[in-house]
Amino acid sequence: MSGETHDVLIAEPSTEDGSELWRIARDSHTLDLNSSYAYLLWCRDFADTSAVAVVEGRPVGFVIGFVRPSEPDTVVVWQIAVDGDQRGKGLAGRLLDHLLDRLAPRGVRHLETTITADNAASIALFGALARRRGALMRRADLFAADHFPDDHAAEDLYRIGPFEPAAQPVGV
């Protein structure tokens, strides 16, 4: 554990964060790196289903997702990453908790993501989320390697839920 800790601000991203999301994805050396345009567009149009973690004014982690058009109670986490020097401090878990808490009032009670079989950190991250929230996590085949036109490993589907519904405000 690093002896030095800094406050972490977790919030919706803005267009100004798009280039840093691209950088974090690039530096992860694990995620598929999308075009810089894709991250800018995501920060503009899907900010409400995404989050950025900021330490000392600098984005150090993000999660980008969307609510499935055909399944409005399900948020799909497309990508999540934390800078190498910030890992192991619970930041990715906090990004997911923030997103689920923000989306619960909209009726989101499930999370889906895809993970390659070799990504132990990611499987551990989502497994920990399921345990923390007392929810089930199920794995299923989704995109096999031969679905991809390039040299890409199979992406397994993980579905977690149901999560507790949002608490009703007192007096409602």
Ligand X SMILES: CC(C)(COP(=O)(O)OP(=O)(O)OC[C@H]1O[C@@H](n2cnc3c(N)ncnc32)[C@H](O)[C@@H]1OP(=O)(O)O)[C@@H](O)C(=O)NCCC(=O)NCCS
Task: For residue 41, give the H/E element and its range.
Answer: helix 36-45
Tokens linked to 104 = 């619960």
Q: Are 62 and 50 in contact (CB under 8 A)?
A: yes
Give the nearest distance from C-beta 171 to ligand X in angstroms. Answer: 35
Binding pattern to ligand X, positions 106-125, x when CB under 6 A?
-------x-x---xxxx-xx
Q: Which residue has the tokens 């299923």?
A: 140
Q: Which of 9, 25, 117 is nearest to 63 (CA)?
A: 25
Q: Which of 111, 106, 115 is nearest to 96 (CA)?
A: 111
Q: Does 34 bind ligand X (CB under 6 A)?
A: no
Shorter beta-carbon distance to ligand X: residue 81 or 103: 81
For 17, 79, 111, 135, the CA distances from 138, given in Å and listed in that order, are 33, 19, 11, 10
Q: Does 64 bind ligand X (CB under 6 A)?
A: no
Q: Does 28 bind ligand X (CB under 6 A)?
A: yes
Q: Does 89 bind ligand X (CB under 6 A)?
A: yes
Shorter beta-carbon distance to ligand X: residue 49 or 113: 113
Give the nearest distance from C-beta 91 to ligand X in angstroms. Answer: 4
Q: Which residues, numbered 127-156, are part of the site for ligand X (CB under 6 A)?
A: 128
Residues that bind ligand X (CB under 6 A): 28, 30-31, 80-82, 87-93, 113, 115, 119-122, 124-125, 128
